[in-house]
Amino acid sequence: MAFESLTGKLQDIFKKLRGKGKLSEKDVKEAMKEVKIALLEADVNFKVVKEFINTVTEKSLGQEVMESLTPAQHVIKIVNDELTALMGSKESKINFSDKPPTIIMMVGLQGSGKTTTSGKLANYLKSKGKNPILVACDVYRPAAIKQLQVVGSSINVPVFSMGDKTTPVDIAKGAVDFAKNNNYNVVIIDTAGRLHIDEELMDELKNIKDAVNPNEILLVVDAMTGQDVVNVAESFNEKLDIDGVILTKLDGDTRGGAALSVKAVTHKPIKFIASGEKLTDIEVFHPDRMASRILGMGDVLSLIEKAQSQIDEKKALELQKKILDQQFSFDDFLEQLQGLKNMGPIDQLFSMIPGVNMSKLKGVNVSDKDIKRIEAIIQSMTKEERQNPSIINGSRKKRIAAGSGTSIQQVNSLIKQFEQTKKMMKQFTDLGKSTKIGKRRMPFFR
Amino acid sequence: MLNFFKKNKKEDANLEKDKKGLYQKLKDGLTRTRNNFTAKIDSILSLGRKIDDELFEELEEILILADVGVVTTEKIIENMKIKAKEQKIKEADKIKDLLAEEIYNIMEVNERPFNITSPTLILIVGVNGVGKTTTIGKLANKYKNEGKKVLLVAADTFRAAAIDQLEVWAGRNNCEIIKHEEGSDPASVVFDGIKAAKARGADIILCDTAGRLHNKKNLMEELKKIYRVAQREFDNANIETLLVLDATTGQNAVQQAKIFKEAVNVTGIILTKLDGTAKGGIVISIKSELDIPVRFIGVGEGIDDLQEFDSEKFVRALFE
Alpha carbon of B111: minimum distance to chain A alpha carbons (Å)? 27
The pLDDT score that the predictor gives to residue B109 is: 87
Interatomic CA distance for residues A234 and A221, integer angstroms: 12
Closest CA to B143 of B100, B212, B206: B206
Interatomic CA distance for residues B131 and A317, integer angstroms: 59
Contact A111 B273 (CB under 8 A): yes
Residue B70 contacts A, CB cutoff 8 Å: yes
B232 assigned to a ligand binding site: no
Closest CA to B127 of B311, B270, B293, B298: B270
Contacts of A115 in chain B (CB under 8 A): 160
The pLDDT score that the predictor gives to residue A188 is: 98
B201 assigned to a ligand binding site: no
Closest CA to B210 of B126, B273, B298, B122: B126
Q: B86: burial class by Cβ within 10 Å (0-12, 13-18, 19+)?
A: exposed
Average pLDDT over residues B300-316: 85
Average pLDDT over residues B160-177: 94
The pLDDT score that the predictor gives to residue B95 is: 85
- DSSP readout, chain B? --THHHHS-S-HHHHHHHHHHHHHHHHHHTHHHHHHHHHHHHHHHTTT---SHHHHHHHHHHHHHTT--HHHHHHHHHHHHHHHHHTT--STTHHHHHHHHHHHHHHHTT-------SSEEEEEE-STTS-HHHHHHHHHHHHHHTT--EEEEEE--SSTTHHHHHHHHHHHHT-EEE---TTS-HHHHHHHHHHHHHHHT-SEEEEEE----TT-HHHHHHHHHHHHHHHHHTTTSEEEEEEEEETTB-THHHHHHHHHHHHH---EEEEE-TTSS---THHHHHHHHH-PPEEEEE-SSSTT-EEE--HHHHHHHHH-
Contact B128 A113 (CB under 8 A): yes
Question: Is residue B141 left, alpha or beta, with left meaning phi > 0 and alpha meaning psi from -120 to 50?
Answer: alpha
The pLDDT score that the predictor gives to residue B302 is: 85
Sheet holding A186-191, edge to edge: A159-160, A132-137, A186-191, A102-108, A216-222, A244-248, A270-274, A282-284
Which residues, at least 6 apart from B15, have a Cβ–Cβ distance to it below 8 Å?
B23, B313
Residue type, A367: S
The pLDDT score that the predictor gives to residue A346 is: 56
Alpha carbon of A269: minimum distance to chain B alpha carbons (Å)? 22
Residue B213 contacts A, CB cutoff 8 Å: yes
Give A416 or A202, the one with higher predicted confidence. Answer: A202
SS (HEC) of chain A: CHHHHHHHHHHHHHHCCCCCCCCCHHHHHHHHHHHHHHHHHCCCCHHHHHHHHHHHHHHHHHCCCCCCCCHHHHHHHHHHHHHHHHHCCCCCCCCCCCCCCEEEEEEECCCCCHHHHHHHHHHHHHHCCCCEEEEEECCCCCCHHHHHHHHHHHHCCCEECCCCCCCHHHHHHHHHHHHHHCCCCEEEEEECCCCCCCHHHHHHHHHHHHHHCCCEEEEEEECCECCCHHHHHHHHHHHHCCCEEEEECCCCCCCCCHHHHHHHHHCCCEEEEECCCCCCCEEECCHHHHHHHHHCCCCHHHHHHHHHHHCCHHHHHHHHHHHHCCCCCHHHHHHHHHHHHHCCCHHHHHHHCCCCCCCHHHHCCCCHHHHHHHHHHHHCCCHHHHHCHHHCCHHHHHHHHHHHCCCHHHHHHHHHHHHHHHHHHHHHHHHHHHHCCHHHCCCCCC
Give A171 or A353, the one with higher predicted confidence. Answer: A171
Closest CA to A247 of A290, A206, A279: A290
Give A387 or B43, the one with higher predicted confidence. Answer: A387
Convert the pLDDT of each residue in A320-359 to its tens digit. 666 666 677 888 778 777 766 666 555 555 555 544 444 4
Average pLDDT over residues B263-291: 92
Contacts of B128 in chain A (CB under 8 A): 111, 113, 249
Nearest by CB to A151, from B61, B160, B253: name it.
B160
Contacts of B164 in chain A (CB under 8 A): 142-143, 146-147
Query: Of A167-171, A333-337, B43-47, which range is least confident?
Result: B43-47
**Residue of chain A nearest B159, judged by CA positions:** A147
**Considering chain A, what percentage of its residues have pLDDT values greater than 90?**
43
Contacts of A151 in chain B (CB under 8 A): 160
B298 assigned to a ligand binding site: no
Give A406 or B91, the one with higher predicted confidence. Answer: A406
Buried b (16+ CB within 10 A) or exposed e, A205-244: beebbeebebbbbbbbbbbbbbbbbbbbbebbbebbebbb
The yes-or-no verdict on residue A427 having pLDDT over 70 is no
Query: Of A137-141, B15-19, B31-35, B196-200, which range is least confident?
Result: B15-19
Contact B129 A222 (CB under 8 A): yes
Contact B213 A228 (CB under 8 A): no
CB A220 within 8 A of CB A114: yes
Nearest by CB to B248, from A1, A45, A109: name it.
A109
A288 assigned to a ligand binding site: no
Residue B164 contacts A, CB cutoff 8 Å: yes
Interatomic CA distance for residues B281 and B283, integer angstroms: 5
**Residue of chain A nearest B137, judged by CA positions:** A142
Interface probe for A, chosen from B164, B252, B273 (most Cβ of A below 10 Å), is: B252
Contact A147 B61 (CB under 8 A): no
Give A257 or B123, the one with higher predicted confidence. Answer: B123
Interface probe for B, chosen from A41, A227, A358 (most Cβ of B below 10 Å), is: A227
Contacts of B160 in chain A (CB under 8 A): 115, 146-148, 150-151, 154
The pLDDT score that the predictor gives to residue B10 is: 43
Interatomic CA distance for residues B126 and B268, integer angstroms: 12
* Cα end-to-end distance, chain A, whole Å: 23
Which residues, at least 6 apart from A389, have a Cβ–Cβ distance to it below 8 Å?
A329, A330, A415, A418, A419
Best mean pLDDT range from A44-53, B95-104, B221-230: B221-230
Query: Of A94-103, A306-315, A406-415, B170-179, which range is least confident?
Result: A306-315
Contact B252 A254 (CB under 8 A): yes
**Residue of chain B nearest A227, judged by CA positions:** B65
Q: B200: burial class by Cβ within 10 Å (0-12, 13-18, 19+)?
A: exposed
The pLDDT score that the predictor gives to residue B272 is: 95
Mean pLDDT of chain A: 80
Interface probe for A, chosen from B59, B68, B128, B219 (most Cβ of A below 10 Å), is: B128
The pLDDT score that the predictor gives to residue B202 is: 96
Contact A197 B71 (CB under 8 A): no
Buried b (16+ CB within 10 A) or exposed e, A14-31: beebeeeeebeeebbebb
The pLDDT score that the predictor gives to residue B14 is: 44
Confidence of residue A301 (pLDDT cuts 50, 70, 90): very low
Give A180 or A286, the one with higher predicted confidence. Answer: A180
Interatomic CA distance for residues A389 and A156, integer angstroms: 53
CB A37 within 8 A of CB A24: no
The pLDDT score that the predictor gives to residue A107 is: 98
Confidence of residue A313 (pLDDT cuts 50, 70, 90): low
The pLDDT score that the predictor gives to residue A444 is: 42
- DSSP readout, B246-300? ETTB-THHHHHHHHHHHHH---EEEEE-TTSS---THHHHHHHHH-PPEEEEE-S
The pLDDT score that the predictor gives to residue B155 is: 96
Angle between helices A368-379 and A394-404 (to 10 degrees): 130
The pLDDT score that the predictor gives to residue A42 is: 87
Convert the pLDDT of each residue in A429-445 to its tens digit. 555 444 443 334 443 43
Convert the pLDDT of each residue in A25-34 to its tens digit. 777 787 788 8
**Residue of chain A nearest B32, judged by CA positions:** A197
Could you tell me the CA-to-CA distances from B256 to A202, A252, B154 in Å, in that order?
31, 10, 22
Contacts of A200 in chain B (CB under 8 A): none
The yes-or-no verdict on residue A398 having pLDDT over 50 is yes
Sheet holding B238-246, edge to edge: B176-178, B150-155, B204-209, B120-125, B238-246, B268-272, B294-298, B306-308
Average pLDDT over residues B144-171: 95
- A to B CB pairs, distance under 8 Å: 140
Best mean pLDDT range from A51-55, A189-193, A397-401: A189-193
Mean pLDDT of chain B: 87
The pLDDT score that the predictor gives to residue A342 is: 64
Count of residues for chain A?
A: 446
The yes-or-no verdict on residue B29 having pLDDT over 90 is no
Geometric angle at alpha carbon A174, from A168 and A175, rounded to 5°: 90
Contacts of A150 in chain B (CB under 8 A): 160-161, 182
